[in-house]
Amino acid sequence: MTETEKTELTGMTPEELAAYVKEQGWPEFRAKQIFSWIHKGADIPEMTNLPASVRETLLQRAAVRTVKIMTERVSALDGTVKFLFALRDGNCVEGVLMRYKYGCTLCISTQVGCRMGCTFCASTLEGCIRNLTAGEMLGEILCANRYLQPEDKKISHVVLMGSGEPLDNYDQVMKFLRLLREENGIHLSLRNVSLSTCGIVPKMYALADENLPVTLSVSLHAPNDEIRRKTMPVAKVYTIDEILDACRNYITKTGRRVIFEYALVKDLNCDAVHAEELAKRLRGMQCHVNLIPLNEVKERGLKGVSETDVKRFTEMLEARHISVTRRREMGDDIEGACGQLRRKTILKRKETADE
Ligand code: SAH
């Protein structure tokens, strides 16, 4: 059996794993043991309380560590680590580990590439190759936990802000979130998880009904639909009004404030009129605005803004009573922004193939 033909156990729920164990004819309690080992990041030979025969069968038929660290780059500025994770079918995705006073955050990818086509983003340049499985998303965290083991640290916060549109891979993302909080597993509070979307409205309503306390982040990036359509194809499908209604519903259902991401792009969305219009639309909403100075992607031709521009925009929103912060840029020296490292690796692979 080749590696890719083996059954991936990592994304299985306790119930699915129980069914798998039963199928093999093993006693029921093995499922709990295996689940616990997997979520500790153990490989099959390390599952020492399983009989050798069980481990042998697992080695032949099952895959546990389906995600591996391919490369890592550590920022000399702030200790941020950019991982390139290898998947067992040869694809790769990025993840970023950020260190804060309150703990360690991992930014994970949810798809290989992305099909949303935002013109400022590197992740979408090659389209979407495939969805990640729940097990692979979990695998990104398990890799980071292993990386942190020598420091006696673990991932305490997760943000779904890497490559991919999480709501375009809805079922696997929901499965992953539920796995994250399993008591016998990683046991992370979903209050420590943020999910970022470009605004797929029907899925935002569905998410509100899941009864999961995750923080919803919405990539707004514009004060009106006309400007939004210039950089985000999804804006041709859903209007800002529809997105804001879905956000209000999310706030009502979950009691949690919504975060709006707003990347400042030169000559596009960062003038006084834009701040005014944005503030007007968000007035009275339980929300927070996260300003991001555009991270210039060479292929995209859009220009970033100066520190003074960011400050000016921040002050204009504050004056209109909108809660706002500037997103801290971390790992600036290691291509911390979405999709950049993976893209570089793909380009390099192509160059080598062409030689
Ligand atoms: N697909 C999801 C999550 C992934 S992107 C979403 O759209 O929200 C995470 C955030 O980084 C989004 O707000 C995205 O719009 C933003 N982003 C992508 N490329 C960027 C760039 N070059 N500069 C600044 N922000 C960028």
- Whether 198 lines ligand 1, by a CB cut-off of 6 Å, is yes
Residue in 342, 69, 349, 33 with CA at minimum distance from that of residue 185: 33
Helix residue spans in 266-339 (DSSP H)? 272-282, 307-319
Kindly give the distance from the C-alpha atom of residue 111 to the centroid of ligand 1, in angstroms, as a whole number: 14
Closest Cα to atom 12 of ligand 1: 219
Among 94, 136, 140, 261, which one carries the catalytic annotation?
94
Which of 228, 232, 338, 341 is the pocket-test mutation for ligand 1 (most atoms within 8 Å of CB)?
338
Check if 197 has its Cβ closer than 6 Å to any atom of ligand 1: yes
Q: What is the DSSP letter of 313?
A: H
What global pTM score does this model have?
0.94
pLDDT at 335: 66
Among this protein's residues, is 315 annotated catalytic?
no
Using DSSP, state whether 156 is helix, strand or coil: strand
pLDDT of residue 355: 46
Model pLDDT, residue 77? 87
What is the number of residues in the chain?
355
Q: How far apart are CA 122 and CA 127, in angstroms?
A: 10
- Res 337: pLDDT: 60
Q: Is the CB of 337 under 6 A from ligand 1?
A: yes
Q: Which atom of ligand 1 is nearest to the CA of 168?
A: 1
Residue 295 beta carbon below 6 angstroms from any ligand 1 atom: yes
Token output for 324: 């706002």
Residue among 332, 256, 254 at smallest CA distance from 287: 256
Helix (H, G, I), strand (E, B) or coil at 179: helix
Options 107, 198, 247, 338, the catalytic residue: 338
94 is catalytic: yes
How far is the centre of ligand 1, averaged over its atoms, from the C-alpha of 90 (Å)?
25
Whether 161 is in the pocket of ligand 1, judged by its Cβ within 6 Å, is yes
Report the first-to-last Cα separation within the chain, whole angstroms: 33
Those residues with Cβ within 8 angstroms of residue 176's Cβ, 6 or more apart along the chain or in another chain: 11, 134, 137, 138
Residue nearest (by alpha carbon) to ligand 1 atom 1: 165
| 269 CB near ligand 1 (under 6 Å) | no
pLDDT, averaged in runs of 10, over the chain (355 residues): 91 98 98 98 97 97 96 92 96 95 96 96 92 98 98 97 97 98 97 98 98 97 98 98 98 97 95 97 96 84 91 97 86 64 63 53
How far apart CA 115 and CA 296 sit, in angstroms, is 20
The rounded Å distance from CA 315 to ligand 1 centre is 23
Ligand 1 centroid from CA 121, angstroms: 6
Provide the pLDDT for residue 35.
Answer: 98
